[in-house]
C-alpha cells in the first residue's frame, strides 16, 4: 500500500517559485492500476519524481508524507532509499525511450539496474535481461541490437524491461505511450496490463489522455493545477463524476470522439506562477460561486472510496 498524505512540492524560491503540487492525498492499493490524469503542467511528473526522490535541485518537498508499506520513504536516509528504489519502486520516465544510450546494446542497458543495485553478477544480470526482454515481447533477435535499430514500440518495451527487471512492487509509468502511434499505444497498454497481472505489481499510470486512463485503471485521480479534483473507482468517476472539471473532461471526450484532447474545456490552463485564489479551476468553471474564491480544498467523501474537492459538495 502506498499512502500519500498532504504532499506539497515547490520549484524555485519561496518568493518567485511555483508550487507544482499542493496538499495531495492518495491511497494506492497493492496489485491495482491507479490512473493519474490531468492536463499539461498539472503536476503529474512532479508527483512521479517526488515518489522516486528524483526531483531536480530546484524542487523541494514543502510538506507531507509518503508511506510505502508503512515506511516513510521521503524521510528515510539516502542509502536506505537507494536500496528501495528499483527493488520496490521503479519509474518509466516521461520520454525515457528517447534517452536510451545509443552506444550500448539493449540487453546490456536492461541489465544495468541489477548490476547498479548490486543484485547480480554481470553474466547473471545479462541472463535476467534476456528473460525480461522476452517477457516484454522482445525475442532473441533483438537482444543484441542498439536503440537506433528498434521501432518506437520496441524502444518503449526496452524501457519497460529496464524498469521491471528488479521486480519492483510499484511501477510508475509516466506517459508511457504518448509518443507512439495508436496501434503501438494499444500494444504497450496491453503489455502493461498483462505485466501488472503476471507480476502482481501496483502500476501508477500517468497520462494526459483521459480515455486511455479510464480504459486502463481500477482507480483514477484527476488533477488540476497541482491539486486533486476528484478520486474514485473507475466506475464512480466514469458514471458518477462530481467535480465540474471531471464532468468537463467526460463531455469533451464524448464531443470530440477519438481525437483524445483535453482542451475542449473553454479557458486557459492555470498560470502556476500566479494561480487564482481558492479553487484553481475557478476561472474556467461555469458553476463557480463566491465561496469558491476562498475555498481551502476541504475534501468531501461523496460515497465509499469516492472523494471530491469542490464547494458544491459537503457543507
Ligand atoms: N524543473 C522545474 N523547474 C521549475 N518548474 C518546473 C520544473 N518542472 C516542472 N515545473 C513546473 O511545475 C508544474 C508541473 O509540471 P509537471 O511537469 O509536473 O506537469 P505534468 O502534469 O507532468 O505536465 P505534462 O503533461 O506536460 O508532462 C508546471 O507549472 C511546470 O512548469
Ligand atoms: S470549487 Fe467552485 S470553482 Fe471549483 S470546481 Fe467547484 S464549483 Fe467550480
Ligand atoms: Mg509530465
Per-residue pLDDT of 194-206, as tens digits, reads 999 999 999 999 9
> What does the pLDDT read at residue 260?
47
Taking every pair of Cα atoms in the chain, the longest distance, rounded to a whole number of angstroms, is: 66
pLDDT (average), residues 226-249: 97
C-alpha to C-alpha distance for 258 and 128, rounded to whole angstroms? 39
Confidence at 120, pLDDT banded by 50, 70, 90: confident
Residue 14 clears pLDDT 80, i.e. is over it = no
Q: What percent of the chain has pLDDT over 70?
A: 96
Residue whose Cα lies nearest atom 30 of ligand 1: it is 41
Report the alpha-carbon distance of residue 35 to residue 138 in Å, rounded: 26
pLDDT for 52-87, tens place per residue? 999 999 999 999 999 999 999 999 999 999 888 888
Distance CA 41, CA 199 (A): 32
Q: From the alpha carbon of 47, which atom of ligand 1 is closest?
A: 18
**Residues 191/198, Cβ–Cβ less than 8 Å:** no
The grid cell for 70 is 508503512
Whose Cα sits closest to atom 1 in ligand 2? 310
Measured distance CA(254)–CA(109) in Å, rounded:
42
* pLDDT average, residue stretch 13-27: 90
What average pLDDT does this structure show over 113-128? Answer: 87
Residue 263: predicted pLDDT: 47
Share the mean pLDDT of the chain.
Answer: 93
| Digit-coded pLDDT (tens) for 127-186 | 999 999 999 999 999 999 999 999 999 999 999 999 999 999 999 999 999 889 999 999
Kindly give, in sequence order, each residue whose CB lies less than 8 Å from that of residue 78, ignoring residues fewer than 6 positions away.
Answer: none
Residue 111 CA to residue 301 CA, distance in Å, equals 45
Q: What is the mean pLDDT of residues 249-278?
A: 76
284 — pLDDT class (breaks 50, 70, 90): very high
Residue 282 Cβ inside 6 Å of ligand 2? The answer reads yes
Atom of ligand 2 nearest to the CA of 295: 1
Report the separation in Å between the CA atom of 46 and the middle of ligand 3, taken as the mean of its atom positions.
7
pTM of the model: 0.95
Give, for ligand 2, the residue of 222, 265, 311, 315 to mutate: max count of ligand atoms closer than 8 Å to Cβ. Answer: 311
Q: What percent of the chain has pLDDT over 90?
A: 85
Span 2-308: which CATH code? 3.40.50.300
Ligand 2 atom at minimal distance to the Cα of residue 289? 2
Listed by start position, the domains of the chain span 2-308
Using the atom order of ligand 2, give the atom closest to the CA of residue 245.
5
CA of 223 to the centre of ligand 2 (A): 13
Whether the CB of 288 sits within 6 Å of ligand 2: yes
The confidence band for 254, taking pLDDT boundaries of 50, 70 and 90, is low
Amino acid at each position: 500500500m502506498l499512502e500519500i498524505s498532504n504532499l506539497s512540492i515547490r520549484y524555485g524560491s519561496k518568493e518567485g517559485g511555483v508550487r507544482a503540487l499542493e496538499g495531495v492525498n492518495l491511497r494506492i492499493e497493492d496489485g491495482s492500476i491507479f490512473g493519474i490524469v490531468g492536463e499539461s503542467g498539472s503536476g503529474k511528473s512532479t508527483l512521479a519524481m517526488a515518489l522516486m526522490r528524483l526531483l531536480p535541485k530546484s524542487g523541494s518537498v514543502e510538506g507531507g508524507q509518503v508511506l510505502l508499506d508503512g515506511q516513510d520513504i521521503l524521510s528515510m536516509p539516502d542509502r536506505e532509499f537507494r536500496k528501495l528504489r528499483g527493488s520496490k519502486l521503479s519509474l518509466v520516465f516521461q520520454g525515457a525511450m528517447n534517452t536510451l544510450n545509443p552506444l550500448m546494446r539493449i540487453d546490456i542497458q536492461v541489465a544495468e539496474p541489477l548490476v547498479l543495485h548490486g543484485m547480480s553478477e554481470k553474466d547473471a544480470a545479462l541472463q535476467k535481461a534476456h528473460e525480461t526482454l522476452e517477457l516484454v515481447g522482445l525475442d532473441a533477435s533483438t537482444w543484441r541490437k542498439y536503440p537506433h535499430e528498434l521501432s518506437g514500440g520496441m524502444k518503449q518495451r526496452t524501457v519497460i524491461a529496464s524498469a521491471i527487471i528488479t521486480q519492483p512492487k510499484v511501477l510508475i509509468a509516466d506517459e508511457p505511450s504518448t509518443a507512439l502511434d495508436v496501434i503501438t499505444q494499444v500494444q504497450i497498454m496491453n503489455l502493461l496490463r498483462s505485466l501488472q497481472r503476471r507480476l502482481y505489481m501496483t502500476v501508477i499510470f500517468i497520462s494526459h489522455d483521459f480515455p486511455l486512463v479510464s480504459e486502463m485503471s481500477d482507480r483514477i485521480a484527476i488533477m488540476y493545477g497541482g491539486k486533486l479534483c476528484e478520486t474514485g473507482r473507475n466506475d464512480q468517476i466514469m458514471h458518477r463524476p462530481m467535480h465540474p472539471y471531471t464532468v468537463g473532461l467526460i463531455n469533451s471526450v464524448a464531443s470530440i470522439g477519438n481525437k483524445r484532447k483535453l482542451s475542449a474545456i473553454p479557458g486557459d490552463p492555470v498560470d502556476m506562477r500566479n494561480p487564482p485564489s481558492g479553487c484553481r479551476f475557478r476561472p474556467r468553471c461555469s458553476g463557480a460561486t463566491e465561496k469558491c474564491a476562498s475555498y481551502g480544498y476541504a475534501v468531501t467523501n461523496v460515497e465509499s472510496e469516492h472523494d471530491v474537492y469542490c464547494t458544491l459538495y459537503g457543507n
